[in-house]
Amino acid sequence: MALWESLVDITQSINELWMVRGDFNLVTSNEENLGGLPVTVADTVYFNHCISVCNLEDPGFKGSKFTWWNGRVDEACIFERLDKALWNKNLQNLFQEKIIKSFRFLNFWLEDETCLEVIRKNWITEVQGNLFIMFHHKPKKTKKALTQWSKERFGNIFQEIATLEDFIKVLEVQFERNPSRENRTKLFKAQAELNMQLRREEDFWKQKSGFEWLRMGRGTLNFSILLFFEKQFTKGQQCEDFSILEEILELIDSNQNEELISYPTM
């Protein structure tokens, strides 16, 4: 309570640009929590009341929607978004200039029967003016409608992918500690879901892989491993030095490996 009262006092005493950020150790809704006990109104009421009274807003974020993991696996695993950055109206107005984002039509939209209806509804809208004005207005209106429709229908796709990647890392740790059939199934299921998200848009996969290579850097071990496999499965010069494979983390033991490489029986 002392923290919320302090923030309210700050709001009443200054009229400047300000931001508060850090680990609040609380969530604002059940959407910011995965695992453990359900989030109730009593858990969030004081925090949300403080945000409202202080006229603070969340400017949004990129990447995984969870910032904290309790380090446990199985049923005891909990993810939460505890770290936040909140700003007041004055600071928000300073960055009010709109950023024009490029529009990409995602192929998997066509798999949803309501997509064509959204396009049709916004394209047939009557526009007053010459042909040039009509041609400029229709795609612009349709693009805006599709963007909003996709957000409501599928959510933030790229954020979901980042969250899945973090979740898979935890499942890999869980499977490494206990390589049971159940843990293997959970890991494979999550990996399959991630692959499905990535297959939805081929261009996104290319951008994602390119971004990962740039982020890891050419001098890192991960990049060297990627380069090794790239040479193995492409024409041209082939790599004959297999020592790099010793650096890859082993996820199966010798008994499991024997089963994998054994000849199938009748």
184, two tokens = 């293997």
Residues 68 and 43 in one domain: yes
Residues 21 and 67 in one domain: yes
Residues 84 and 61 in one domain: yes
Residues 92 and 149 in one domain: no
Please state the rounded mean pLDDT for residues 83-100: 75
pLDDT tens digits for range 17-64: 888 889 989 899 888 888 888 888 888 888 888 888 888 888 877 778
pLDDT tens digits for range 186-204: 888 888 888 777 766 554 4
pTM for the predicted model, two decimal places: 0.48
Residues 56 and 120 in one domain: no
List b or e across 154-185, with b for residues whose CB sees 16 or more CB atoms inside 10 angstroms: eeeeeebbbbbbebbebbbebbeeeeeeebbe
Q: Which domain holds residue 53?
A: 15-99
Residues 148 and 126 in one domain: yes
Tell me the backbone φ, ψ of residue 46, rounded to 5 degrees.
-70, -40
> Per the domain annotation, does 51 fall within a domain?
yes
Q: What is the CB neighbour count within 10 angstroms for residue 193?
A: 15
Number of domains forming the structure of the chain: 2
Decide if pLDDT at 212 tops 60.
no
> Per the domain annotation, does 172 fall within a domain?
no
